[in-house]
Amino acid sequence: MTGSMPRAALLTLTLAVAPAAWSAESGKAPEQLGKVSFANSCVPAVQERFERGVALLHSFWFTEGAVAFREVLEADPNCAIATWGLASILIGNPFAAGPTPQRAAEAQAAIDRGRKIAGGTERERAYVEAVAASTTIFPTGRMARAESRSRTPSRRSRNASPTMRRRSSRASI
């Protein structure tokens, strides 16, 4: 019985990792993406491609997602919300260190392009401005901002609780 547990664990791990390894090796995004419905003012011909880009963005398939958003912008140059998607992808994983200086510049160019597009809805312009606000951390990277945020609540809770202040002062000794 003890020999079967490691085998079962190995089999489970193999089955869980194999699809991701295959798709990473092939360089293509998985076709098992979730269904996205994202209302926007872009031309109907780009809707499917745009929604695929959003699904790829939320699945962290940045390379394929960038291709999708660029194709949307090529087919509909007035699709401002596609610039949000492209900039979001160029910024990269929000839990990582942030974009390279080149990616940061490309993200800013996408944001600038989105701001210049006259069309779009107020909601779409708000998305572009939201991603623009997240770029204010360049070039220090997203991690510095995340660490700063994670420390702030701790300070507040220590200040609010005498017990936490005592524990905090002991921990720093």
Residue 99: its pLDDT value, please? 86
> H or E segment at 113?
helix 101-116
Considering the chain, what percentage of its residues have pLDDT values greater than 70? 60
Instruction: pLDDT band for 134, please (50, 70, 90 cuts).
Output: confident
pLDDT higher than threshold 60 for residue 169: no
Q: Which tens digit of pLDDT belongs to each residue from 35-94?
A: 999 999 999 999 999 999 999 999 989 999 999 999 999 999 999 999 999 999 999 887
Residue 97 has pLDDT above 70, yes or no: yes
pTM of the shown model: 0.64
Residues 6+ apart with CB under 8 A from 95: 142, 146
Please provide the DSSP assignment of 30-47 as one string.
-S-PPP-----SS-GGGH
Interatomic CA distance for residues 15 and 24, integer angstroms:
15
Cβ-Cβ contacts under 8 Å for 7 (sequence gap 6 or more): none
Architecture of domain 33-139 in this structure: Alpha Horseshoe (1.25)
3 pLDDT band (50/70/90 cuts)?
A: low
pLDDT-derived band of residue 32, with 50, 70 and 90 as boundaries?
Answer: confident
Q: Where are the domains of the chain?
A: 33-139
